[in-house]
């Protein structure tokens, strides 16, 4: 199956530690196969004397057959919000810490990247969320998220009061530091630290995790992935809560605003080397026991 991909995009964050060596390794591998390479324009100075064309992330999404993201999961989250619009498949080379999404290590590049280029890979489709903040029914901000949308007070030791609706059905009124609305992809991220469940990435579901709720009986709720979620920030709040997407896109809301969250029509196509296992990743990244019970 050699020749599956002809034009490869290389993207990442220019300040990522150890980025130069990994990019050079990838460039040598791709050039040896006579593949056309599009290098994200923000990385041009990271690998001087390169021979590939510089392009914006948008242009890479439009033109590339495959995009290799170098960095941690944050780098992939940032790229995914753009690349998902073009259905461009993505693989991740991990230069970060946990790396649930960027699962190829620099030591594995010479073995695993050629396998993917030759068509030997496992494909996953991950859905994103889209959020819109409305004020007097008019939109004042929007964003997309592969991991999660978080509404929080933004102030230490202060709660906000909001009402939660799912598919226009009232769920509860809550006083809490905020609410995490997470995809299955994000269930091993911020949602997990807030006490949310780990969800297999193939699930079509969304989890809502209250952040330090005033009511001790308040627990995470898992709902259908096609649910329409709305948070009404009560007008009597004095705090202007922040609405963040993947911890990277921030919208400032006001008392009286409503936050609308639903599944994004675009999906991220994520490629893994053959033999990839979500549960093996959990064992590795979350330090689960590797012991087998006979």
Q: Please name which of 199, 178, 196 lies closest in space to residue 259, comparing C-alpha atoms.
A: 178
Q: What is the CA radius of gyration of the chain?
A: 21
Could you write out the DSSP letters of every residue in 244-284?
Answer: EETTTEEEE--TT-EEEEEEEEEEEEEEEETT--HHHHHHH
Give the three-class secondary structure for 292.
coil
* Annotated catalytic residue 204: no
- Given 41, 65, 73, 103, the catalytic residue: 73
Q: Which residue has the tokens 């620099």?
A: 106
* Dihedral in degrees, nearest 10, Cα atoms 119, 43, 79, 17: 90
| Distance in angstroms (rounded) separating the CA atoms of residues 38 and 41 | 9
255 within 8 A of 279, measured Cβ to Cβ: no
* Terminal-residue alpha carbon distance, the chain: 40
The alpha helices in 64-124, defined as continuous H runs, are 73-83, 109-117
Element of type H or E holding 191 = helix 190-193
278 within 8 A of 158, measured Cβ to Cβ: no
Q: Please name which of 205, 184, 196, 192 lies closest in space to residue 270, comparing C-alpha atoms.
A: 184
Backbone angles phi, psi at 113, to 5 degrees: -65, -45
List residues with catalytic annotation. 73
């Amino acid at each position: 199956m050699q020749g599956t991909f002809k034009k490869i995009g290389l993207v990442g964050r220019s300040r990522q530690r150890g980025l130069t060596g990994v990019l050079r390794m990838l460039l040598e591998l791709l050039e040896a196969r006579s593949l056309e390479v599009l290098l994200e324009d923000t990385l041009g100075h990271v690998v001087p004397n390169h021979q590939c064309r510089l392009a914006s992330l948008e242009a890479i999404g439009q033109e590339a057959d495959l995009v290799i993201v170098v960095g941690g999961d944050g780098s992939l989250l940032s790229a995914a919000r753009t690349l998902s619009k073009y259905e461009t498949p993505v693989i991740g080379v991990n230069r970060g810490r946990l790396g649930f999404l960027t699962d190829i290590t620099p030591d594995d590049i010479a073995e695993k990247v050629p396998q993917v280029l030759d068509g030997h890979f496992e494909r996953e489709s991950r859905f994103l969320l889209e959020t819109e903040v409305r004020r007097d029914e008019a939109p004042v901000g929007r964003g997309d998220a592969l991991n999660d949308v978080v509404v929080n007070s933004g102030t230490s030791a202060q709660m906000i009061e909001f009402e939660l609706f799912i598919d226009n059905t009232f769920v509860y009124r809550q006083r809490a530091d905020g609410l995490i609305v997470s995809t299955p992809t994000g269930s091993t991220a911020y949602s997990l630290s807030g006490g949310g469940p780990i969800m297999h990435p193939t699930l079509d579901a969304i989890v809502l995790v209250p952040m330090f709720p005033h009511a001790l009986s308040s627990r995470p709720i898992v709902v259908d992935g096609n649910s329409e979620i709305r948070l009404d920030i009560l007008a009597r709040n004095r705090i202007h809560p922040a609405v963040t997407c993947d911890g990277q896109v921030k919208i400032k809301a006001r008392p009286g605003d409503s936050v609308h969250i639903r599944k994004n029509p675009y999906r991220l196509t994520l490629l893994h080397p053959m033999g990839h296992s979500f549960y093996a990743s959990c064992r590795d990244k979350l330090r689960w026991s590797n012991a087998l019970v006979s």
